[in-house]
Amino acid sequence: MNRERELIDALLDGSLTQEQWYELSVLIGMDTIQRIQKGDRRLHKYLASVSLESGDILSLSRAISPFRSRNIFVDFFSRWSLLIGVIVFFCAVLAIIPKVIDISLAQSGVIVYNAFESPFQVGIGSVILLCLGIAAWLEWSDRI
């Protein structure tokens, strides 16, 4: 029974050798082999017919264009909008800090210190750039 199953599988796959063909014909008869083949050919024909109709709707220029669909932008922003929002917020906060320091120090008569020369600020900037880089890489890299 196992052998018969194996041979019918090979018959359906189209990989039956001549020797196996004779072996299978002894097991199930030539008439059954022909019916299996005929039924499978007809199923093949019908499935190809229903699956491939009205399929020619892709335009080549759209297919190979990186801007092929607006969905890619929608997807990008829906996926990364929170991160982008947080980054923009941090940038805004960071932009305000030196102004605040500048104003408060000017009022107290102390020499103004440029906050953007601080290693802390440079570190924050690097982290933001790193986050943006990772986000861009995740979105655009090919994960095949």
Tell whether residue 26 is a contact of another protein (CB under 8 A): no
Give the H/E segment covering residue 87.
helix 71-108
The binder of another protein chosen from 26, 50, 82, 111 (CB under 8 A): 50
Please list, in sequence order, all residues whose beta carbon lies within 8 angstroms of the beta carbon of residue 125, skipping any fewer than 6 positions away. Answer: 94
Per the CB < 8 A criterion, the answer to whether 131 and 87 are in contact is yes
**Interaction between residue 46 and another protein (CB under 8 A):** yes
- In sequence order, the 6+-apart residues with CB closer than 8 A to the CB of 36 are 8, 11, 12
**Phi, psi for residue 73 in degrees, rounded to 5:** -75, -40
Give me the 74-113 binding string for another protein, x by CB under 8 A, dash otherwise: ----------------------------------------
Count of residues in contact with another protein, rule CB under 8 A: 41
Footprint of another protein (CB under 8 A): 1-2, 5, 8-9, 12-15, 32, 35-36, 38-40, 42-44, 46-52, 55-58, 60, 62-66, 68-69, 71, 142-144
